[in-house]
């Protein structure tokens, strides 16, 4: 049981990485990125391609993350920046439809070109035993890297001028402009950051399980749930909800099977949307 909880936390932290990206991108540009999970798959597949060409694993992963960031940049400058031209409700709707179309296109492209590609990373270490507890080093590494990435993000948002400006835009874009903040480049930066963090989540998922090309949609959905449950504008909320959902999902999958587990998670999301649309932590945080 304790092992399940550890697995759950590890998976949950990974979901937080995805959810935080959705939250940041929505906070700055009001775009609900329905293609977010595809970045995780793209990054894992890129790393896989390099690995198959004989490139060192770590280098492949770094290259994968870099290229995912570049893809994020290209998409933001081309498609997403067109969406920013619209205002208010139209922008939100456009964002939903455009990223929906994008996710469909990426998903279909990957499923058609490399249907049998599977990405996973095996570590050359033995499992660690603490008392009766067996911890896989890959689980441990995945959790540590997730935490590290989330801490770095937090430091960036809290301590740097750029990070503060990002938070300022999320609160009131016009007011941020009156402080001298130009929102456009920061929106681009956040989109790239979101893509890379999703990419990292994909890589880390390869440590604890296997990334298949079809999994992008599930990632998107889980990330959306994390973002919604955590409150669409709160980062702490995202981390907390990610971990809780990770534990619930892992335990429920173990005892009830994957189908029912997802149904339970989604039902919980629906209930949360209907009872507390601002998320479990409210608007604070």
Partner 1 sequence: MKKASIVQKVIILAVYALLPIIFSHSYQLRLLNLLIFFTMFTLSSNIIFGHTRQLFLCQGALVGIGSYISAILPERLGVAPWIILPVGALTSAGIGSLISAVSSIRRLSIIFMAVLTSSFQVIFGELILGLRHITGADEGIVIRSDILRGLIGANRELVYYYLLIATLFATVIIYDKIVNSRVGVAFRCIVEDEIAASFIGINVVKYKVLSAFISSFLFGFMGGLYAYYNLYICPSMFQNIDVHILVMLVFGGMGTLTGPLLGAGAFTLISELLRPLGPITTLIFGILLIILFLFFREGLVVHLKRITGQFFKKHKLCF
Partner 2 sequence: MFTWEGGSLNEILSIKDVYAAYGDLTVLERINLEVKEGEIVLVLGSNGAGKTTLLRTISGILQPKKGQIYFLGRRIDGLPPYEIVNLGISYVPAEGGIFPKMSVMENLDMGTYVTKARKKKGERLHFVFQLFPILRERKDQLAGTLSGGERRMLSIARALMSLPKLLILDEPSFGLAPKVVSELFKAIEQINNEGTTILLVEQNARQALTVADRAYVLENGNVVLEGNSNEIANNPLVKKAYLGM
Q: Footprint of partner 1 on this chain (CB under 8 A)?
A: 26, 32, 34, 79, 82-83, 89, 92-94, 96-98, 100-109, 111-112, 221, 224-225, 228, 232, 257, 259-260, 262-263, 266-267, 269-270, 273-274, 277
Candidates 56, 108, 277, 284; binder of partner 2 (CB under 8 A) is 284
Q: Does 87 bind partner 2 (CB under 8 A)?
A: no
Residue 81 makes contact with partner 2 by CB under 8 A:
no
Indicate whether 164 belongs to the interface with partner 2 (CB under 8 A).
yes
Determine the interface stretch with partner 2 among 121-129, 180-188, 195-203, 245-253 (rule: CB under 8 A).
180-188
With CB cut-offs between 5 and 8 Å by kind, which of partner 1, partner 2, none does residue 181 bind?
partner 2
Q: Which one of residues 2, 93, 178, 270 is an interface residue with partner 2 (CB under 8 A)?
A: 178
Contact status, residue 230 vs residue 239, Cβ threshold 8 Å: yes
Please identify, among the stretches 8-16, 78-86, 166-174, 242-250, the one whose residues bind partner 2 according to the rule CB under 8 A.
166-174
Nearest CA among 87, 76, 81, 83 for reference residue 98: 83
Cα 197 from Cα 116, distance rounded (Å): 25
Question: Count of CB atoms within 10 A of residue 55's CB?
Answer: 15
Please pick, from the candidates 172, 257, 258, 260, the single residue that binds partner 2 as defined by CB under 8 A: 172
Q: In 101-204, at which residue ranges do the beta strands (DSSP E only) sit?
A: 118-119, 128-130, 133-135
How many CB atoms within 10 Å of residue 221?
17
Among residues 181, 166, 33, the alpha carbon closest in space to that of 95 is found at 33
Q: Which class for 209: exposed (0-12), middle (13-18), buried (19 or more C-beta within 10 A)?
A: middle
Task: Judge whether 141 and 11 are in contact, CB under 8 Å.
Answer: no
Selected binder of partner 2 within 17, 22, 80, 168 (CB under 8 A): 168
> In this complex, which beta carbon is closest to partner 2, that of residue 183 or of residue 246?
183
SS (H, E, C) 153-181: HHHHHHHCHHHHHHHHHHHCHHHHHHCCC
Q: Note the residues at the interface with partner 2 (CB under 8 A).
A: 161, 164-165, 167-168, 171-172, 174-183, 283-284
């Amino acid at each position: 049981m304790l092992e399940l909880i550890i697995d759950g936390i590890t998976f949950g932290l990974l979901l937080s990485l995805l959810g935080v990206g959705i939250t940041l991108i929505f906070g700055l540009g009001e775009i609900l990125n329905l293609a977010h999970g595809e970045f995780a798959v793209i990054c894992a597949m890129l790393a896989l391609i390099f690995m198959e060409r004989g490139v060192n694993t770590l280098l492949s992963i770094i290259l994968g993350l870099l290229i995912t960031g570049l893809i994020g940049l290209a998409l933001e400058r081309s498609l997403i920046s067109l969406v920013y031209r619209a205002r208010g409700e139209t922008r939100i709707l456009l964002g939903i439809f455009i990223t929906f179309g994008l996710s469909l296109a990426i998903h279909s492209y990957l499923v058609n070109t490399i249907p049998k590609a599977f990405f996973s990373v095996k570590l050359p270490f033995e499992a660690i035993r603490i008392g009766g507890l067996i911890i896989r080093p890959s689980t441990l590494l995945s959790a540590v890297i997730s935490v590290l990435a989330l801490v770095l993000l937090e430091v960036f948002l809290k301590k740097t001028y750029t990070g503060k400006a990002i938070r300022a835009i999320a609160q009131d874009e016009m007011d941020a402009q009156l402080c001298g903040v130009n929102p456009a480049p920061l929106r681009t930066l956040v989109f790239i950051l979101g893509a890379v963090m999703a990419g990292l989540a994909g890589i880390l998922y390869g440590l604890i399980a296997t990334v298949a090309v079809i999994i992008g949609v599930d990632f998107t959905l889980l990330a959306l749930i994390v973002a919604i449950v955590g409150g669409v504008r709160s980062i702490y909320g995202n981390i907390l909800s990610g971990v809780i959902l990770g534990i619930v999902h892992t335990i429920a999958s173990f005892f009830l099977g994957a189908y029912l587990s997802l149904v339970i998670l989604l039902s919980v999301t629906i209930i949360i949307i209907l009872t507390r649309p601002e998320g479990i932590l409210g608007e604070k945080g």
